Amino acid sequence: MDIRKTLLWAIFTISAIMLFDSWQRHTGQPSLFSPATPAATAPQNNATGAAGGASSATANADLPKAVANNNASAPVALSNRAGEIVSLKNEVLDLEIDTLGGVVAKAQLLKHQDDQGKSVILFDRSNTRQYFARTGLVTPSGIELPNHTQNYSVIRKDGQSVVMATEKNGVRLEKTFTLAANSYVVELKHTIKTNNPQLGQASLYAELVRDGTKLEESMFYSTFTGPALYTDGEKFQKIEFAEIEKNKAKLPAAQTQGQNTWVAMVQHYFATAWVPSTETHRDLYVGKLDNNQYRIGVQSRVENLAPGQEQTQTLKLFVGPQEERLLEQTAVGLELVKDYGWLTILAKPIFWLLEKIHTFVNNWGWAIVILTILIKLAFFPLSAASYKSMARMKEVQPRLLDLKEQYKGDPQKLNQAMMEMYRKEKINPLGGCFPVLIQIPVFIALYWVLLASVEMRAAPWVLWIHDLSKPDPYFILPIIMAVSMFIQTKLNPTPPDPLQAKLMMFMPIAFSVMFFFFPAGLVLYWVVNNILSIAQQWQINKMIGTKKLRS
């Protein structure tokens, strides 16, 4: 029983720490377990790269350094100045491309709505947001080449593509943006032509720039926001903004031809990513540009071009939701931005099963219900063993109380008497704990599946539940969950220790308060799981009681 008491105290302590940590994050204080995200600061407007006034040094201060150096350049303010805005749109994506730099300055996801019913905006440049994608050319020689600070002229525009070009110091860069129907991927072709015999080595860079402000989330859970990258050697890697702030970000070595790689910016449910061609030598870089302004990028080497020659490099820009199938089709390893953490090995097959169920029922809420039933059936033998053990413990509860009274003041003899009774009655006092502990990794994996899946956004279930990713607006599911936990507590044996008994009665209240702020999809899973557990436990208690009467 001392082990049971220790387990109860451990659960209570961990719950208290998690609640306190969530409150810290909710109030803007540093987390107990991870570096704090830099506080949001309004971007400073500066005429960086403005025509007719800025010097060449100032205009190019925020350019990435050439291939020989992966470190970010000195911090400078970013410019909000815009040129002509060119639109590129399909059924799912609406892009705005700024001719000043050929920058993808705004992106709206037409199939995903925010809380106000408007299209979700990923890329955006305003006084409160800085998030965009840009490309250009740099060279170690210091010669200024076409980059994101020059004005581009629109050469051609049709329904599917936009072509724009600029020239600097005898080098012409032509960008062709192509957006296929129903696609979240922009194909960006760069055609480089030179008439400059002194050009030498050059690099094409593609980077994502974002402020470090994290989207508002519940105080009871937190998801990653920030840069990420992938290489064949190092696989998936997340980089905290705080690591960039302290210049502690570790990057993989340069990628040679044939190796897969990409760089991304990740936030809850959505991501953007540059996917370069595998046909060139590539270097990755991260850096801080300004107060609360960060970037991650990739540079691809441009072969030495003789005057009159040209070279073409094509990259893919993904701007969209974290849908696994969509990400897998875009690039090797890109599905990893939908991060399940250390339980990915369990979470991925769980989501696969959930997705298969959804194809039949066409409702994510009912898919969660059916998935919960299937998981419960899979663990039925373990749960049955646990409930039988608890039922036997409840049966001998009066005798335990008698022993406690008999050996009051002598814990050693009390433990010996209890162990002897367990031996005679063939009861394992931990029999109700181990089966539950075995199931915990599966429950945690399912938790992350439901929390990370963009499919839950705006997905209705029944009646008042219109969005499984949002808390229950009327708290009906959390209240049902609290009642179900209370019933489960009553079906279990009452701990002989009064303090343990009070703790067990307090747990339903503590968890129900926490679940008030959890997404309805998560609470739905726990409610269904609790109801099934109650039914199974009640049936086992009834069976044991019937056997006792017959004997």
pLDDT at 217: 64
Structure tokens at 77: 């303010």
Give, as one character, the DSSP assignment of residue 79: P
| Pick from 53-57, 435-439, 519-523: least confident | 53-57
Task: Give the CA angle between residues 521, 526, 531 to the nearest 5°.
Answer: 125
Please report the pLDDT score of residue 43 as a whole number: 34
Burial 190-216 (b: 16+ CB within 10 A, else e): bbbbbebeebeebbbbbbbbbbbbbee
Distances in Å between the alpha carbon of 317 and those of 161, 331, 352? Answer: 14, 10, 26
The whole-angstrom separation of Cα 119 and Cα 111 is 7
C-alpha 398: how far from its chain's center?
Answer: 50
pLDDT given at position 496: 55
Q: Give me the mean pLDDT over the 173-182 stretch.
A: 96
Q: So what's the pLDDT on residue 141? A: 81
The confidence score (pLDDT) of residue 85 equals 94
**7 touches 432 (CB < 8 A):** no
Residue 481's nearest CA partner among 435, 449, 441, 529 is: 529
526 pLDDT tier (thresholds 50, 70, 90): confident
Closest CA to 492 of 426, 393, 421: 393
Instruction: Please give the residue that has the higher pLDDT: either 507 or 97.
Output: 97
pLDDT given for residue 46 in this prediction? 32
What is the maximal distance between C-alpha atoms in the chain? 101
pTM of the model: 0.79
Inter-axis angle of helices 364-378 and 344-361, to 10 degrees? 130
In the structure, what pLDDT confidence band is assigned to residue 68 with cuts at 50, 70 and 90? very low
Q: Which tokens in the block code for residue 41? A: 């600061």
% of the chain beyond a pLDDT of 70 = 74
Banded pLDDT at 390 (limits 50, 70, 90): low
Report in angstroms the alpha-carbon separations of 297 from 66, 167, 214. Answer: 12, 23, 20
Give the model's pLDDT for residue 86. Answer: 95
| CA–CA separation, 235 and 244 (whole Å) | 19
Q: Is pLDDT above 60 for 1?
A: no
Q: Which of 245-254, 267-276, 444-453 has the highest mean pLDDT?
A: 267-276
Please provide the average confidence, as pLDDT, over all residues in the chain: 79
Whole-angstrom CA distances from 448 to 57, 223, 261 are: 47, 10, 26
Q: Can you give the length of the chain in residues?
A: 551
CATH C-level class of 56-336: mainly beta
Phi-psi region of 341 (alpha: psi -120 to 50; beta: other; left: phi over 0): left
pLDDT reported for residue 189: 97
Q: What percent of the chain has pLDDT over 90?
A: 41
Is 50 exceeded by the pLDDT of residue 54?
A: no
CA distance 540 to 201: 76
Segment 356-375 mean pLDDT: 94
The predicted structure's pLDDT at residue 388: 67
Amino acid identity at 546: T
Domain definitions of the chain by residue range: 56-336, 347-396+429-550
Reported as a pLDDT band with limits 50, 70 and 90, residue 256 is confident
Q: How confident is the model at residue 448 (pLDDT cuts 50, 70, 90)?
A: confident
Residue type, 419: M
- Mean pLDDT value across residues 475-501: 75
Reported confidence tier of residue 535, pLDDT bands at 50, 70, 90: confident
DSSP state of 257: T
Contact residues for 471 (Cβ-Cβ < 8 A; gap 6+): 218, 516, 517, 518, 519, 520, 523
**Cα 318 from Cα 403, distance rounded (Å):** 68
So what's the pLDDT on residue 158? 87
Please give the residue that has the higher pLDDT: either 348 or 490: 348
Provide the pLDDT for residue 489.
75
- The residue-averaged pLDDT of 102-123 equals 92
Measured distance CA(530)–CA(512) in Å, rounded: 13
CA distances from 306 to 167, 196, 201, 274 (A): 16, 8, 11, 28
Token pair listed for 539: 């049936």
Judged against a pLDDT cut of 50, whether residue 341 lies above it is answered with yes
Give pLDDT, residue 145: 92
